[in-house]
Every structure is written in C-alpha cells, then in structure tokens.
Amino acid sequence: MIHNISLPPGEFAGCFIDDFFCNTLDTKGHAFFDEIAGLKVSAHLLIDRAGDITQYVPFNRKAWHAGESCFKGRKNCNDYSIGVELEGTDNDRFTDAQYSTLIDITRLIAREYPCITPERIVGHSDIAPGRKTDPGPCFDWQRFKSKLSFDH
C-alpha cells in the first residue's frame, strides 16, 4: 500500500517523520503536532525525496499504517499488507528518485511475497476511501505500474 507523509505538512527533510514512526515526536516542535499527539503510527518503509529508504518495521511484522480499511472485502489491512510511505503530499509531484526506489523495492518485495501483483498494489485512498486521499493525484500510477515486471 502506498502512502504519502510530510511533517509538518508540506515540509520535507526533517527528523519529524522518523520521530513520529518511532513514537518519539516532540509535540511542542510544531503547532500541527498537537493534532497528531497520541497517535501510534508506523510503516514498513519510508522513501524520502532523495530516494533513500528507511525501514521501520520488518515486512513479516504488522505495521500500523492503514487504520480502518478494507481491500476486496477483507478488513483490517494492517494485518496483511506492507505500507510504503513516500515523503510528499497529495499536491506535490514525487521525485524521479522516489519512483526509481519505489519500483526497485516493489520488485524485491514481490519476489519474497509472490501474492503481491501489480493489481494488488494500491494507495491508502483505495482501502480507506472518503477517509484518506494519499498517495494523491500527483502520484503517477501509470509511470509506476508500467515499470513493474515481476519474475514470480
């Protein structure tokens, strides 16, 4: 599942995403952080604007990225999905480096998890419509999926 995140919203390249996913965010660091204080959120991976990866949760462990969710009639997507966060917003284009890394890491994940097919790779907005909008209209699904070829 593909997401986007920036902390504070619209700002990139700080330590706040790491702090948020590690439950060490200083809520006094920015006025927005009061809104997310107390949330326990994690993702398997973050791909920053430079295309660098940070892994927070092993792929075989549950991460808390989906929230209330449903995929093809099956609820609680956190129980069976891999969450990849792209540093960005709904309204900013993602970088070439992010697409390159996302394509590479998706291929590697799919080799280890053959049930993952291009059709099963969705955005947060697909499993929580009306509640979530990410990765947003600036995410180029055609660009991303056209480069996926899995060797299952």
- Return the active site residues: 85
Instruction: Give the CA angle between residues 81, 83, 86 to the nearest 5°.
Output: 155
Whose tokens are 């107390």? That residue is 38
User: Taking Cα atoms as reference points, which of 6, 2, 39, 35 lies closest to residue 22?
Assistant: 39
3 Cβ contact partners less than 8 Å away, ≥ 6 residues apart: 43, 65, 83, 84, 85, 86, 123, 124, 134, 135
Residues 7, 69 contacting (CB under 8 angstroms)? no
> In sequence order, which ranges of 26-140 are alpha helices (DSSP H)?
33-36, 96-112, 124-127
Phi/psi for 55 (5° steps) reads -100, 130
